[in-house]
Amino acid sequence: MSTLKTNTLTGTTSAGSILVTGEGGSTTTNLQQGLIKAYVCYTTSSTTAIHGSESFNHSSLSDEGTGQTKFTMTNNMSASKFSLSDSGGDATAGYSSWVQDDEFSTSTYELNLGTGSFGAQDGPYHAGQVIGDLA
Amino acid sequence: MSEIFVDTIRKTGGSLGTDIRVKNTSVYESDGGTSVTQNLVQGLIKAWFNFKGTDTVSLLDSNNIASMTDNGTGRYTGNLTNNMGNTNYCISCIGDNDGGSNNSPSHSATEHDNNSTSAFQFQSFRPVDDGYTDAQKAPAMIVGDLA
């Protein structure tokens, strides 16, 4: 087995585009596009705060009201609409979450938490992940 | 600092690419090709699965999931093969809505207080009354720091 040691991976044709061969060996997929660009694990129960140190590529978060949290990223996305995935709950009742179209920018987004019937509520645990192209 | 300029990463002497080992301090250049770099390992999904939560619980497809445990109607424990570095990792999961019926699970939740570095708990609920109900299928993913 050969070992490649380096600190930075850069595409030769395009700096931000490296292909890796898929698990099945028959296709290639873009390495950069397959990576999670930001994630956060947080609570809004008493104060709005990150759980432990579980945040990546976020510079701040702010309490915007019941169940509403706005996040600011350190490195910007290339477009103001990007893919988000999230989930959370308190294990005792149904739990909903949603985003607001007008709260997206290349550096910010907002997650909203609610009850099973979409009434705004705070929660002890929620996690979000950002996927898409970095600037 | 050393830099490697490459378009495709493959296994030595072949076409497969599954034997690559990446050190946890590695960074990559952003999709936009600007001077922005981010940590490669932190950007990886550390575990994912799709499972059947009705009758006998079973994994349909997964990575880094050792097993799933049925804790009763709509409640499950996932057990990791490689542990996470702390208990505050991020989980996203979605319950199967089974054609949009109000009696089918569409809400899913995670139970952070009972997560450990090697196991996590999650539930599925009926939207009509917030009661626990088994998920026919439930995909999920975990991101955060591996141990």
In whole angstroms, what is the distance from residue B4 CA to residue B17 CA?
A: 17
In whole angstroms, what is the distance from residue B20 CA to residue A104 CA?
A: 36
Q: A124 in contact with B at a CB cutoff of 8 Å?
A: yes
Tell me how close the Cα of B52 comes to any Cα of chain A, in angstroms: 19
Tell me how close the Cα of A102 comes to any Cα of chain B, in angstroms: 23
Q: A106 in contact with B at a CB cutoff of 8 Å?
A: no
- Per the structure block, which two tokens stand in for A88? 């959370």
Q: Say if the ipTM goes beyond 0.85.
A: no
Q: Is A5 helix (H, G, I), strand (E, B) or coil?
A: coil
Whether the CA torsion B128, B133, B134, B140 is positive or negative: it is positive
In this predicted structure, what is the pLDDT of residue B18? 47
Comparing C-alpha atoms, which of B52, B108, B98, B125 is closest to residue A87?
B108
Would the CB atoms of A22 and B121 count as touching at under 8 Å?
no
First-residue to last-residue Cα distance in chain B: 26
Chain A, chain B: beta-carbon pairs less than 8 Å apart? 223
Q: In sequence order, which ranges of B5-133 are alpha helices (DSSP H)?
A: none
Q: Among partner residues A12, A25, A94, which is closest to B15 by beta-carbon distance?
A: A25
- Does pLDDT of A129 surpass 50? yes
How would you classify the pairing of strands B107-110 and B119-125?
antiparallel
Q: What is the 3-state secondary structure (H, E, C) of B56-71?
A: CCEEEEEECEEEEEEC
pLDDT in tens, B21-30: 677 888 888 8
Whether the CA torsion B123, B125, B129, B133 is positive or negative: it is negative
Choose between A83 and B98: higher pLDDT.
A83
In this predicted structure, what is the pLDDT of residue B107? 60
Mean pLDDT of the residues in chain A: 87
Angular region, B64: left φ>0, alpha ψ -120 to 50, beta rest:
left
In this predicted structure, what is the pLDDT of residue A35? 93
Whether the CA torsion B48, B24, A23, A20 is positive or negative: it is positive
Chain A residues inside the 8 Å CB shell of B30: 16, 32, 75, 133-135
In this predicted structure, what is the pLDDT of residue B120? 93
In this predicted structure, what is the pLDDT of residue B136? 81
Is B94 within 8 Å of A95 (Cβ atoms)?
no
In whole angstroms, what is the distance from residue B61 CA to residue A7 CA?
A: 33
The pTM score is 0.81
Chain B residues inside the 8 Å CB shell of A1: 12, 19
Model confidence at B108, in pLDDT bands (50, 70, 90)? low
In whole angstroms, what is the distance from residue B127 CA to residue A45 CA?
A: 22
Is A69 within 8 Å of A63 (Cβ atoms)?
yes
What mean pLDDT is predicted for residues A72-99?
A: 86
Q: Among partner residues A3, A36, A135, which is closest to B30 by beta-carbon distance?
A: A135
Q: A45 in contact with B at a CB cutoff of 8 Å?
A: no
Q: A80 in contact with B at a CB cutoff of 8 Å?
A: no
In this predicted structure, what is the pLDDT of residue B133? 84
Chain A residues inside the 8 Å CB shell of B92: 85-87, 127-129
Choose between A2 and B81: higher pLDDT.
B81
Would the CB atoms of A7 and B3 count as touching at under 8 Å?
yes
pLDDT in tens, B76-100: 999 999 999 999 899 888 766 555 5
pLDDT in tens, B38-87: 898 899 999 999 888 888 999 988 999 999 999 999 889 999 999 999 99
State chain A's maximal CA–CA distance in angstroms: 56
In whole angstroms, what is the distance from residue B91 CA to residue B99 CA?
A: 24
